[in-house]
Structure 1
């Protein structure tokens, strides 16, 4: 499984664009981060990506898990964040909102 690898120096807007692009292409999105700064950037990217996607009728959520990985022969604990896609309907405007109140409700 491939991961978007996010570091503390990653641009949240760039990572958000990658997330949104993969979601729009129908591909699975998984993020891997090591360290608090990297996790911070990744979560900001998820929030930004939601802002990109919601107007298109798509929402996302995420679920973090711990994972032991090896970097340069050293064992490290990573946070892996799975992105879940939810189709949403566009908000509808109700004609009821512009109708006057019925006499029974007005007081």
Structure 2
């Protein structure tokens, strides 16, 4: 899975489109932000993405967690947002075709078959 990196200068609506598309394709999305402004943009991004997928009956939520990231030979603590759905996600991949139903067995009436 590809982690979307959100910066303080990220456009929330554009990042929300990326979150919505990632979620539609994979059923889950992960964002990563370092710093208070980037975290703010990430939360706005998720709120906007909720609106993008709401029309298809999906209700998104996120679970935050801490993550250590190496930036310029320095370890920094960031926040990872795992975006999931409260509702079942519609399958976007084509489904396998089901076998047609088998024909019914011939009925028997009395001693003879109807032919």
TM-score by length of structure 2 reads 0.72
Partner Cα distance (2:7, 2:35) in 1: 8
| TM-score, reference length from structure 1 | 0.77
**1:46 corresponding residue in structure 2:** 46
Deviation of residue 68 (structure 1)?
1.4
Name the counterpart of 2:70: 70
5+ residue gaps, structure 1, are 89-107
Structure with higher Rg: it is: 2
Show structure 2 runs of 5+ residues with no match.
89-115
Mapped partners of 2:25, 2:50: distance in 1:
15
1:27 to partner: Cα distance: 4.3
Q: Distance in 2 between matches of 1:32 and 1:77?
A: 10
Q: How many residue pairs align between the two structures?
A: 88
For residues 58 and 79 of structure 1, the distance between their equivalents in structure 2, rounded to whole angstroms, comes to 24
Q: CA RMSD in A?
A: 1.3
Aligned to 1:86: 86
* Shift of residue 26, structure 1, vs aligned partner: 2.8
3-state SS of the aligned residue for 1:87? coil
1:31 paired residue number = 31
Report if the CA contact (8 A) 2:28-2:83 is conserved: yes
Distance (whole Å) between structure 2 residues aligned to residue 75 and residue 16 of structure 1: 27
- Greater helix fraction, Structure 1 or Structure 2: 1
